[in-house]
Amino acid sequence: MTDQTVLEAEIREWIAEQLAMLLGREPSEMDPNSALAEMDVISLDVVHVIAAAMKQFGIKVPRAEFEGHDTINKLAGLMARHAG
């Protein structure tokens, strides 16, 4: 595994844990390929989790680049690409 792949997996797990906590679910219930809206995640929660994830992992992603990244996997991939 590359460093980026490992980081992406760590970010994916972290985001799933945070969203699950907000929704009162188990992280295993968070499908990383499902649209966040389909899992009843509201946009304000997404904004807070993204901001916390960027702080947690020391990553900066321009706000405009989040457009269309509507799953946990897509968010994790985007953030991992901006690491370092």
Total tally of structural domains belonging to the chain: 1
Note down the domain range covering 61: 3-81
Of 10, 5, 13, residue with least CA distance to 81: 5
- pLDDT tens, 46-67? 999 999 999 999 999 999 999 9
CA 49, 50, 53, 54 torsion-angle sign: negative
pTM for this model (two decimals): 0.93
- pLDDT tens, 7-45? 999 999 999 999 999 999 999 999 999 999 999 999 999
